[in-house]
Amino acid sequence: MPGHRIIPAFPNWGFDFMSRKPVDRADLPPLLAEVFRKHGYEGASLALISEATGLGKGSLYNFFPGGKEEMAAAVLADVDAWFEEHVFAPLRQESDADKAVSSMLDAVDAYFHSGRRVCLVGAFALDDARSRFPERIRGYFARWVAALAEALARGGRKDAAILAEEAVGLIQGAIVLSQALGDTGAFDRAIDGLRRRLVAPQTRSRSAQA
Amino acid sequence: MPGHRIIPAFPNWGFDFMSRKPVDRADLPPLLAEVFRKHGYEGASLALISEATGLGKGSLYNFFPGGKEEMAAAVLADVDAWFEEHVFAPLRQESDADKAVSSMLDAVDAYFHSGRRVCLVGAFALDDARSRFPERIRGYFARWVAALAEALARGGRKDAAILAEEAVGLIQGAIVLSQALGDTGAFDRAIDGLRRRLVAPQTRSRSAQA
DNA sequence: TCTGTATTGTACCAATCGGTACATAATTTG
DNA sequence: CAAATTATGTACCGATTGGTACAATACAGA
């Protein structure tokens, strides 16, 4: 019997509470990202998403008619755009190769909070979310490696491509290790090690002048 | 109304099919592991587990009264035991340090199928399964790093602890990269690179004598 | 062969899943 | 101010979730 007659039990009658925060769709991806990061694609239920955003299903499906999959896609696009702007593009454009690599390491360290924050794209790559967004995931890592290789080559390094791949892998592995050990040390040491190996001493902005 | 009277619709009457494979609880962890690897902890539903093992819920809960959590714990214990026997212990015991490290790399390469197979413990470390098995996950990586550091130190390497941590991280990151790029190349190159860096040329069993 | 124990499949359960329908409320547009 | 549009909360849906109950079966030792 479709169309029972729907009688809302508790309509919002007469109380406009807390002076309405005007929510914009563009504000959501970071909030959604935290949920996907913490719980993975499958584990990120609409209940958790609703709680994290403070939005009911109505609003969520208004912003993302495609449901969870569209939310995850929006988050991936958002993360991708952030890295494109703050990591990949600088790597490609900064003419001083050492400075390019060094500021990449700074950006990455800040973004991942010394390994306390998981890489969403990396987590999706291990998860079966991989099968839902293969191109996004592939592109993110491929562009990261390529941009870093370009910078290293510009700096005159031999085997720039291999070095770049190793560096990106090391960062991802360091996140895994830091999470597993519950200790940011592994991540910090990985970043320091990369700085030592990839950046000329006089350009290093943070630490580790061994 | 509890206790309706349960009348099984299709009991197995009169047909003992396929001459009964005698299933032992000890055979299950590898099958379960593949499900958890492919789908993560949340995504590994009892339906998938039942399909992968060919066992109904009755049998599964007979073997693992604690349900999914106990299954995952058994799988983690199984993986841990495998690494303990085939990776950690040899690293600690083999007196020839180069040989120890080299055969670790061989074992790891074989186990992860050149990065096509995900590291279950690593995947759980990123997932919120981390919160369920923190000690198992921490112990696995801590013992891996410690055993490798021991072997490297035995071989007279400086900074053995840091080198070991880097190597384990690199392996984990290489798995992420290989999965993301859909290409075993990243993993193969990582193993080769480690061999070059950590094993004396004359001991290298596989390749990469640059 | 009889008897107790271990295994097994299936029915069943409450809770939750992702998703839809839709009345109400707020906002924009004219 | 009125009409159209957008945003929002809630009821509801079928499917699936992890888990339990239990009768039927296979198997062990006597």
Cβ pair A172:B172 closer than 8 A: yes
Q: Give me the amino acid identity at A190.
A: A
Judged by a CB distance cut-off of 8 A, whether residue B170 touches chain A is yes
- Segment among A1-5, A68-72, A201-205 with least mean pLDDT: A1-5
d(CA B178, CA A45): 28
The encoded tokens of residue A122 equal: 């990396």
d(CA A5, CA A12): 19
What pLDDT digit, counting tens, does each position of B30-67 carry?
999 999 999 999 999 999 999 999 999 999 999 999 99
The nucleotide closest to A61 (CA, C1' atoms): C19
Asked whether the CA dihedral A29, A30, A31, A37 is positive or negative, the reply is positive
Cβ pair B130:A40 closer than 8 A: no
d(CA B22, CA B28): 12
Q: Looking at residues A54-68, what average pLDDT do you find?
A: 96
Contact criterion met (CB below 8 Å) for A141 and A168: yes
What pLDDT digit, counting tens, does each position of A95-127 carry?
999 999 999 999 999 999 999 999 999 999 999
| DSSP state letters, B106-126 | HHHHHHTGGGTS--HHHHHHH
CA B82 vs CA A196, B111, B150: distances in Å: 35, 10, 19
Q: How far is A118 from chain B (nearest CA, A)?
A: 7
CA A135 vs CA A26, A102, A129, A167: distances in Å: 23, 28, 11, 21
What pLDDT digit, counting tens, does each position of B150-171 carry?
999 999 999 999 999 999 999 9
> Looking at residue B158, what DSSP letter applies?
T
The nucleotide closest to B49 (CA, C1' atoms): D18
Residue B68 reports pLDDT greater than 70? yes
Q: Could you check: is the Cβ of residue A24 within 7 Å of any atom of nucleic acid strand C?
A: no
* Position B204 confidence tier, pLDDT thresholds 50, 70, 90: confident
The integer distance in angstroms from the CA atom of B81 to the C1' atom of C6 is 27
Q: Looking at residues B196-208, what average pLDDT do you find?
A: 79
The distance from CA B159 to its chain's CA centroid, rounded to whole angstroms, is 27
Q: Could you check: is the Cβ of residue B63 within 7 Å of any atom of nucleic acid strand C?
A: yes
Cβ pair B141:A181 closer than 8 A: yes
Judged by a CB distance cut-off of 8 A, whether residue A130 touches chain B is yes
Q: Give me the amino acid identity at B18.
A: M
Cβ pair A176:B173 closer than 8 A: yes
Provide the pLDDT for residue B9. Answer: 52
What pLDDT digit, counting tens, does each position of A183-194 carry?
999 999 999 999
d(CA A74, CA A35): 13
Q: How far is A167 from chain B (nearest CA, A)?
A: 9
The integer distance in angstroms from the CA atom of A41 to the C1' atom of D4 is 38
Q: How far is B123 from chain A (nearest CA, A)?
A: 6
What pLDDT digit, counting tens, does each position of A164-190 carry?
999 999 999 999 999 999 999 999 999
The encoded tokens of residue B178 equal: 């290989």
* Position A209 confidence tier, pLDDT thresholds 50, 70, 90: very low
Residue B98 reports pLDDT greater than 70? yes
Average pLDDT across chain A, whole number: 90
Q: Within 10 Å of residue B129's Cβ, how many Cβ atoms? A: 25
Q: What radius of gyration, in Å, describes the C-alpha atoms of chain B?
A: 21
Residue B95 reports pLDDT greater than 70? yes
Average pLDDT across chain B, whole number: 90
Q: Within 10 Å of residue A13's Cβ, how many Cβ atoms? A: 6
Q: Could you check: is the Cβ of residue B62 within 7 Å of any atom of nucleic acid strand C?
A: yes
> Looking at residue A156, what DSSP letter applies?
T
Provide the pLDDT for residue B184. Answer: 98
d(CA B103, CA B96): 11
| DSSP state letters, A134-185 | HHHHHHHHHHHHHHHHHHHHHTT-TTHHHHHHHHHHHHHHHHHHHHHHT-TH
A–B: how many Cβ contacts below 8 A?
Answer: 136
Residue A21 reports pLDDT greater than 90? no
Provide the pLDDT for residue A203. Answer: 83
Judged by a CB distance cut-off of 8 A, whether residue A182 touches chain B is yes
Q: Write the secondary structure of A26-86 as one string of H (helix), E (strand) and C (coil).
A: HHHHHHHHHHHHHHHHHHCCHHHHHHHHCCCHHHHHHHCCCCHHHHHHHHHHHHHHHHHHH
Cβ pair B123:A122 closer than 8 A: no
The integer distance in angstroms from the CA atom of B69 to the C1' atom of C10 is 23
